[in-house]
Structure 1
Amino acid sequence: MRIVRTTGVLGLLIGIAVLIGLTVWSGTGLVRDAVASIGVGIVLVVLVRAGTASVAAVGWWVLFPPKERPPLATCLSLRFVREGANALLPLGQVGGDLLGARLLTFKGVPGALATASVIVDVLALAVTQALFALTGLAVLIWLGADSSVAWIAAGGLALAVPALVGFWIAQRRGGHKAFGWVLARFRGDWARVVGEKVDRLFRDLSALHASRTRMGASLLLHYLDWMTGVGEVLVAFWFMGHPVSLAEALVIESLMHAIRGAAFAIPGALGAQEGGLIVLCAVFGIPPDQAMALSLVKRVADLATGLPGLVVWQWMEGRRWRERRDVSASRPAG
């Protein structure tokens, strides 16, 4: 855990340094003026972001079997917790998902099912993100833009496919067999207890994967979630006085998220997002200062939607602590 925290903090510091360097290179004054020109449009960008997070929450919620499904409000609030932790804390871009599984147990969802739901949800997000990037790549080629950018994007997608297939196999039989093989080498009650928990987890994973209807609905909603994010690019550049077409916005948004996904070890993909947007926007003749302004406005949306999620997390943790304290206090001494 200490290594993970150290790596996260180091990645955060490097990302901040890159962000500052790119801002200076793009022209600090130009970037400031570009951001200021958006004005009230920033509010609209935040609303679009809140909409995408809400759609993603429904995509998570539909994965649960109807009889074990938590209230939609629970998945909505925890989706914002996941978004906030992934974007704003030095936990990499998966720490918030683990946190979401933990908080889901506070609402009475069994630990195995909570963990399984998040694992399958992350797979659905990853698959639809790849499809979204593929859509952007196809549109980029259709627009006849810079072929070098298209080849780089195609190479990244080709590398992502084996990882997605491996992640899917691990959730099915492969992961269960691997854990069973490792645990069989040990003896003792702890190995038996861990084995039982692993068995429960994979039973729930199998149950979630078994419903093609629920899985299909989740994939459709998550793809819609990614597509909705195109609105952020359209709104930001319209207010900057440099409107882009729907096709151009789709390419910028989709391939930017592919870059963010590749930089998963860096908290919030700091620096990687900015560099990627400068390259992608240059394809359509958009200057670096406006690309940086778009990225900074997206960072504002990260804060505006992420901070309430972190507040919800702390409130839930505090409530849990008080409940445990009250239980302990009510027990007779001795």
Structure 2
Amino acid sequence: MPVRDPAPTETAPGPTGLGRALLRRVPLVGTLLGLGLAVWLVTTNDLGAVAAAFGRIGLLGLAAVVLIRIVIILLCGLAWARLLAGIARAETGAFLILRFVREGINVLLPVASVGGDVVGGRLLTFWGVTGALAAASILADLLIQAGTQALFALLGAVLLTQMEGEAAAALSGWVLRALAVAGLALAAFFSLQRLGAIRMIERRLASVGRRFVREADPAGAGPLPPAASVQDALDAVWGRGRLGHVLQSTLLHLLAWMIGSLEIAIVLACIGVEGVTLAEVLVIEALAQAIKSAAFPIPSGLGVQEGGFVVVGALFGIDAGTAIALSLAKRVPDVVLGLPALLVWQNLEARRTAVAPPA
């Protein structure tokens, strides 16, 4: 059955023209700022040292980093699928494919770091998931993703407190204070989803959701009625008897972030950096990712990721040139995997009637 647009319904007034223009310019401004920071980092450091360190990684080292990134994205896709297991008819393969698409959009296009997630929710409806449930799954998945990244950053900060030096103590203190604020924000986000407060902004959410998500189950064949709201779908995702699925999703995300440390270990080994322990690798990955996540308005953390590696790497005697080369190596999978993901996205858009399940 082809995917059809839902019947026209009354919508809340959208943002003003000025507001829409400002929202569109945020990713562009973030991109320009990130590019400026990246250029500044490269030009103020020894470009030859950066090139030499990157060259020592070699094709095999970069291939290993790409393979690890594939594993990470697959784990995140499985985590997303577990949230909807039993309440959506989409197969696990759909979530795995769309998780690559989400990642590709977030790291390669000039959008804020949640732009790909919005598109991923829309594409999920092509597999018969209602628009409300697709949107709810994205909200829940983003909450768990942010929460587990905060836990991983907390692990890095705790490990950092065990290390000597004023710089380490200052950075760990800053991270712990930032995580306290992030914890309050995540708790508020969770409360909006669980306590029904989101119903107060339901009409606005529905108006925004209809711009990006098409209803793929107008006959109500899925677990939710066609008129179900996003809040109803969130209640289904977080509902009684779903704790096991939520825990599975949480553990899969945590495992993914931990595995990300292997990328750093491989790159440093290829470059020839010695004496960096497993705990130090975990600290570098956790804190660099936390810094990048804090700058989510900047697409792919451009420049911010590089700066994070320079700051954190300096604590362990890693020079700026090596730190920048490390960051560049971690961006190789963004391109190698992101470009095919964008092609898959365009193919899905062009063939949505073929992707949609039969009636």
- Normalised to the residue count of structure 2, the TM-score between the two structures is 0.83
Distance of 2:345 and 2:128 partners within structure 1: 16
Q: Is the 8 A contact 2:62 2:329 kept in 1?
A: yes
* Residues 1:116 and 2:148 are matched in the alignment: no
Partner of 2:108: 88
Distance of 1:323 and 1:309 partners within structure 2: 16
Letter in structure 1 aligned against 2:257? W
* Structure 2 unaligned spans of 5+: 1-19, 206-224
Partner of 2:68: 48
Distance of 1:180 and 1:4 partners within structure 2: 20
Distance of 1:212 and 1:28 partners within structure 2: 50
Letter in structure 2 aligned against 1:11? G
Distance of 1:182 and 1:265 partners within structure 2: 22
Displacement of 1:311:
1.0
Partner of 2:271: 240
Worse-matched range after superposition: 5-14 or 257-266: 5-14
Partner of 2:323: 291
Distance of 2:90 and 2:355 partners within structure 1: 21
Letter in structure 2 aligned against 1:51? V
Aligned length: 312
Displacement of 1:274:
0.9
Q: Is the 8 A contact 1:92 1:267 kept in 2?
A: yes
* Residues 1:36 and 2:67 are matched in the alignment: no
* Residues 1:70 and 2:90 are matched in the alignment: yes
* Residues 1:206 and 2:235 are matched in the alignment: yes
Partner of 1:311: 343
1:148 to 167, 170, 177: 170
Alignment CA distance shift 1:76-1:41 (3 Å)? same
Q: Secondary structure at the match of 1:229?
A: helix
Q: Percent identity?
A: 41
Letter in structure 2 aligned against 1:120? A
Q: Secondary structure at the match of 1:26?
A: coil
Q: Secondary structure at the match of 1:109?
A: coil
Which structure has more helix as a fraction of its residues? 1
Letter in structure 1 aligned against 2:154? L
Displacement of 1:89:
1.0
Q: Secondary structure at the match of 2:173?
A: helix
Distance of 2:290 and 2:204 partners within structure 1: 34
Distance of 2:288 and 2:184 partners within structure 1: 21
Alignment CA distance shift 1:270-1:172 (3 Å)? same
Displacement of 1:142:
2.0
1:139 to 131, 144, 159: 159
Partner of 1:229: 260
Alignment CA distance shift 1:57-1:322 (3 Å)? closer
Partner of 2:314: 282
Q: Is the 8 A contact 2:202 2:230 kept in 1?
A: no
Displacement of 1:174:
4.3
Q: Is the 8 A contact 1:61 1:69 kept in 2?
A: no
Letter in structure 1 aligned against 2:281? A
Partner of 1:262: 294
Displacement of 1:4:
2.5
Distance of 1:4 and 1:282 partners within structure 2: 36
Letter in structure 2 aligned against 1:245? T
2:192 to 166, 170, 190: 170
- Normalised to the residue count of structure 1, the TM-score between the two structures is 0.89
